[in-house]
Amino acid sequence: IKNIAVLTSGGDAPGMNACIRAVVRTGIYNGINMFGVLQGYQGLITNNIIPMDARSVSNIIHMGGTILKTARCLEFKTDEGMDLAFENLKAHDIDALVVIGGDGTFTGARRFAQRHQINVIGIPGTIDNDLYGSDFTLGYDTAMNTVIEAIDKIRDTADAHDRLFFVEVMGRDSGCIALRSAIACGAEAVLLPEKETSIDDLVKQLGAGAITKKTSSIVIVSEGHKQGGAYDIAKHVKERFDHYDTKVTILGHLQRGGSPSSFDRILASRLGYAAVNELLKGSTQMMVGLRGNEIALTSLDEALSEHNFKLESDLLEMTHVLSI
27, 64, 101, 175: residue in contact with ligand ATP (rule CB under 6 A):
101
Q: Using alpha carbons, select from 227, 229, 126 the residue that is nearest to residue 169.
A: 229
User: What beta strand segments (E) does the chain contain?
Assistant: 3-8, 33-37, 49-52, 96-101, 119-124, 163-169, 189-191, 217-222, 245-250, 286-291, 294-299
Active-site entry in 12, 128, 130, 141: 128
Q: Is 120 annotated as a binding residue?
A: no
The span from the CA of 245 to the CA of 37, in Å, is 50
The span from the CA of 289 to the CA of 297, in Å, is 6
Angle between helices 230-240 and 199-211 (to 10 degrees): 60
Comparing CB distances to ligand ATP, the nearer of 87 and 239 is 87
The answer to whether the beta carbons of residues 127 and 170 sit under 8 Å apart is yes
Q: Using alpha carbons, select from 2, 7, 3, 39 the residue that is nearest to residue 20.
A: 7
The answer to whether the beta carbons of residues 263 and 199 sit under 8 Å apart is no
126, 217, 249, 285: residue in contact with ligand ATP (rule CB under 6 A):
126
The span from the CA of 7 to the CA of 311, in Å, is 31
**Closest residue to ligand ATP, Cβ-based?**
104
Comparing CB distances to ligand ATP, the nearer of 84 and 210 is 84
Q: Is 40 annotated as a binding residue?
A: no
Q: Is 73 annotated as a binding residue?
A: yes
77, 115, 204, 253: residue in contact with ligand ATP (rule CB under 6 A):
77
To 10 degrees, the CA torsion angle through 181, 10, 112, 283? -40
Could you tell me which stretch among 22-30, 96-104, 144-152, 216-224 binds ligand ATP (CB under 6 A)? Answer: 96-104
- In order, the DSSP letters of 106-144 are HHHHHHHHHHSS-EEEEEEB-TT---TT-S--BTHHHHH
Query: Which sign, positive or negative, has the C-alpha torsion 246, 188, 155, 141?
Result: negative
Q: Does 320 bind ligand ATP (CB under 6 A)?
A: no
Q: Does 64 bind ligand ATP (CB under 6 A)?
A: no
Burial (Cβ within 10 Å: 0-12, 13-18, ≥19) of residue 281: exposed
Q: Is 170 annotated as a binding residue?
A: yes
Could you tell me which stretch among 8-16, 231-239, 292-300, 310-318 binds ligand ATP (CB under 6 A)? Answer: 8-16
- Residues 41-60 binding ligand ATP (CB under 6 A) are 41
Q: Does 309 bind ligand ATP (CB under 6 A)?
A: no
Comparing CB distances to ligand ATP, the nearer of 82 and 158 is 82
The span from the CA of 51 to the CA of 53, in Å, is 7
5, 11, 192, 223: residue in contact with ligand ATP (rule CB under 6 A):
11
Active site residue 128: yes
Comparing CB distances to ligand ATP, the nearer of 37 and 221 is 37
The span from the CA of 49 to the CA of 295, in Å, is 29
88, 105, 145, 308: residue in contact with ligand ATP (rule CB under 6 A):
105
- Residues 216-255 binding ligand ATP (CB under 6 A) are none
What's the gap between Cα 92 and its chain centre?
A: 31
Annotation: binding site: 11, 21-25, 72-73, 102-105, 126-128, 155, 163, 170-172, 186-188, 214-216, 223, 247, 253-256
Annotation: binding site for substrate: 126-128, 163, 170-172, 223, 247, 253-256
Annotation: binding site for ATP: 11, 72-73, 102-105
Annotation: binding site for Mg(2+): 103
Catalytic positions: 128
Residues within the interface to ligand ATP (CB under 6 A)? 9-11, 41, 72-73, 76-77, 101-105, 107-108, 111, 126, 128
